[in-house]
A and B are shown apart, each in its own frame.
Chain A
């Protein structure tokens, strides 16, 4: 340690100069912004609900059930996703499909998002490409545990995210928050 450093004072002053330089630079930028120069930004803050970072296309967001052309789920209730799920948050009740060419259909397909760990194993395990995690929806919340259980109908209604990663369908409203 140099003698000068042992006295704190010089080092303290250089530190203060650094932070003060940041302060006055940012203050000037804020002032320029307020006076009309909209390109001047004094902070790196992203004001979250209004501003968002672009999401990566690989982002694992809220699940959706892929539909056939007639609107019924592509899922054949093979239970692969329910089996592979490490959090055991998928509950499927299988039923017969009216079309004999299709084996089965889920009568119920519930995902408990309160348990889900968003690992994406269900998407990888699915042999029918019937479940995907590409909605871009991240903000789901509920006042109760039951409200975190998303049903087949809710998941079927979702659309994939747009090109910028933004969600294109509205956030599903859980049962306990519906008016």
Chain B
């Protein structure tokens, strides 16, 4: 492997890493500001550097400094190793899950073909799925090692919620996999570039509308945020991170935000056409009504990456909107929704998709 290859591989990973990390950090600001604007408030705007407030953008920075300088407390009876490991597992799994989500098509520079995706995996979907599920180990570890009954209860709830959500996620993805005939996320996104009747993009939300709703619901449950925040449940049990303080607590909060970014990226890749821009083909726009605009390769790639970022941000907006609109499900309601609502419906979706494929033949 030459130095150039190494550099390219590093660049791909760095792009995804910085994108996810920065977006995750910014989400604390987005959450406070968006909820404030939704509720006719202004939101955090006091943190300033040299008198510049910049719409409160310094608040995440102030939060980070505060968390880093706080006392890092560990209960006497907690398991020291697992207690320290848990937040790292949580953040790590959320962070690496984004790796196989493609953020652009193949970039051709100086005779090289660079797939715009941190890691090219043939089983990309399963990888993201697996990493998301592994994230719950961090939460369970935190709950178990804290030597606190409420933390244990929170960890147990997180595990139960994760299992009921993961099954629905997996089953609702199956419809998409059947339609596009691949587990490779790049192939799935590419397949979504086709047009129905010459004008309707074959995005997942068009071919699999039910799976989109199911995936989004289960995905929000997987992020452990309102309306599915039973593992945290501020008003009843404080949750699995009750004994954590300082940056370790901050890492759990960050893991939730990172998971939000991952679910938004996954929804974008599977249901919203990923990096696809409608009517944009590799050599420019080709509109169904006959017009065509030729564009250089670099600009097309830039448009695709931009489209992906915009779609992810839009998805995050929708998820934040849901988080600040709906009240929390009770524990039994969340379980009921997962096992008696999402799971049977996603099985039904698979059956209907199978029948549809059988009747209309082959892939879409």
Contact = CB atoms under 8 A, between A and B. Distances in A.
A156 B267 CA distance: 69
B321 A43 contact: no
A15 B324 CA distance: 10
A43 B42 contact: yes
A179 B326 CA distance: 53
Nearest to B34: A23
A94 to B, nearest CB: 48
A22 interface: yes
A10 to B, nearest CB: 12
Interface residues of B, number: 15
Contacts, number: 43
Contacts of A19: 38, 321, 324-325
Nearest to A45: B42
Given A12-B326, A16-B322, A22 B41 contact: no
Interface residues of A, number: 18
B213 interface: yes
B36 interface: yes
A11 to B, nearest CB: 10
A43 B34 CA distance: 12
A26 interface: yes
A45 B326 contact: no
A24 to B, nearest CB: 9
Nearest to B325: A19
B41 A43 contact: yes
Contact of B37 (A15, A16, A18, A26): A26
Contact of B213 (A9, A27, A42): A9
Interface in A83-118: none
A63 B324 CA distance: 44
Interface string A9-48: 1001001101110110011001000000000001111010
Contact of B40 (A8, A9, A22): A22
B321 A26 contact: no
Given A16-B321, A20-B321, A44 B40 contact: yes
B323 to A, nearest CB: 10
Nearest to A47: B42
Contacts of B324: 19
B39 interface: yes
Contact of A27 (B37, B321, B326): B37
A30 B41 contact: no
B41 A45 contact: yes
B325 A30 contact: no
A30 B42 CA distance: 9
Nearest to A19: B325
A15 B40 contact: no
Contacts of A30: 37
A18 B37 CA distance: 13
A93 B324 CA distance: 58
B212 to A, nearest CB: 12
Contacts of B322: 12, 16
18 contacts: A8-B337, A9-B213, A12-B325, A15-B326, A16-B321, A16-B325, A19-B324, A20-B38, A20-B321, A22-B37, A22-B38, A22-B39, A23-B34, A26-B38, A26-B40, A27-B37, A44-B40, A45-B40
Interface of B: 34, 36-42, 213, 321-322, 324-326, 337
What are the nearest 9 A-B pairs in CB distance?
A45-B42, A19-B325, A43-B42, A23-B38, A26-B37, A15-B325, A19-B38, A44-B40, A22-B38
